[in-house]
Amino acid sequence: MRARLSDIAQQAEVSEATVSRVLNDRPGVAPETRQAVLTALDVLGYERPARLRKRSAGLVGLVVPELDNPIFPAFAQVIESTLAQSGFTPVLCTQTAGGVTEDEYVEMLLDRQVSGIVFVSGLHADTAANHDRYRALIARPLPVVMINGYVPGIAAPFVSCDDGEAAELAVAHLVALGHRRIGLITGPDRFVPVRRKVAGWRSAMGRLAGLPAADLDELAELSLFGVEGGEAAAGRLLDRGVTGIVCGSDLMALGAIRAARQRGLSVPADLSVVGYDDSPLMAFTDPPLTTMRQPVAAMAVAAVRALVDEINGHAAPHSEYLFRPELVVRGSTAVARAAGDRPVSGGVGGQRPAPPALAVPA
């Protein structure tokens, strides 16, 4: 369909003369105006002139876990956008339970002759996995970059949030609010980020909360990632008298809040909860979630830049880039109640026990 200058000009809110200059690739047009005209072409269904079509510099694979946790779509969105800005076409590979495995996705990507692969929270984060799969890719040679997880001896760039510091900052926040019995809920021990969170939490609990190491074992619960895992783990910690909980993900934190409410407890009046990720919509939960924010945009951009450098033959440092998390304080944490003011959790049907009847004098 032949493009009409008037339609494009109206859609882009510019003059027809400006549209003509853009379509003929002439100078004198601001970059944002040029982009508005090109976007108008796409919206109206017109084909861009051949001279204005971006040639792809190649395909790049992006392997991410399931998309149920909103932090992974957030990473994927920034990585895909940054790759596109660098001229590469992203190929998104999403894993699901019982579905296509990471290794199967890699084989598909190799068949498509990708220029490189970005792995987000993949098997590189699992200490029980065989990491020779990555050595084999690098030996091809194929540039790879890995986000959130670290394997010593792998000649590739790694990009991670500082999980240990995140746990320490969360504990420091709760201690400043008067909490001392602060529990930890996170995922299985075999994952590198989990081990780092546990180490950071234990260090901060000894240094800031004054609890001896022997008392910490009963305050840490390693569970399945997700709402259900957080709920089950929080129930066990509430039985042990915690007043605050540091969680390994926002979804686990939502599970902890649900466990508290099922016992008739209020968050944050009776229990303070800190999440991890600051994934989308956490500011709109009830209550809005206090959490440790991963700098997703900065991490994703750094990963793509390192990969593009590798693809272009400019070797990026084969080490781990650690990014500082940020404490985002919202409504799920508050000053700890005095010991005598704390309600007793539990009761029939998970509800708070009724107060004793008052003795009325005759």
At 58 the pLDDT is: 87
Topology classification of domain 5-52:
434 Repressor (Amino-terminal Domain) (1.10.260)
CATH of domain 163-293+326-347: 3.40.50.2300
Residue 41 confidence (pLDDT) above 60: yes
Q: Which superfamily does CATH assign the domain made up of 58-161+296-323 to?
A: Response regulator (3.40.50.2300)
pLDDT tens track for 181-219: 999 999 999 999 999 999 999 999 999 999 999 999 999
Residues comprising the chain, all counted: 362
Residue 311 confidence (pLDDT) above 90: yes
At 323 the pLDDT is: 98
Report residue 316 as tokens.
Answer: 């990026």
pLDDT tens track for 325-352: 999 999 999 999 876 566 655 443 333 3
Is residue 246 a contact partner of residue 184, using CB atoms and an 8 Å limit?
A: yes
pLDDT tens track for 85-138: 888 899 999 988 778 999 999 999 999 999 999 999 999 999 999 999 999 999
Comparing 354 with 45, the larger pLDDT belongs to 45
Section 52-60 average pLDDT: 74
All CATH 1.10.260.40 domain ranges in the chain, comma separated = 5-52
pLDDT tens track for 158-172: 999 999 999 999 999
Section 254-283 average pLDDT: 97
Mean pLDDT, the chain, whole residue set? 90
What residues does 274 pair with on adjacent strands? Answer: 246, 290
Residue 258 confidence (pLDDT) above 90: yes
All CATH 3.40.50.2300 domain ranges in the chain, comma separated = 58-161+296-323, 163-293+326-347
Peptide bond into 141 cis (omega under 30): yes
> Measured on CA atoms in the order 67, 68, 73, 74, is the torsion positive or negative?
negative
Q: Which among 189, 265, 279, 272 is positioned nearest to 225, based on CA atoms?
A: 189
Strand segments (E) across 142-271? 144-147, 158-161, 182-186, 220-222, 244-247
**Is the pTM above the cut of 0.85?**
no
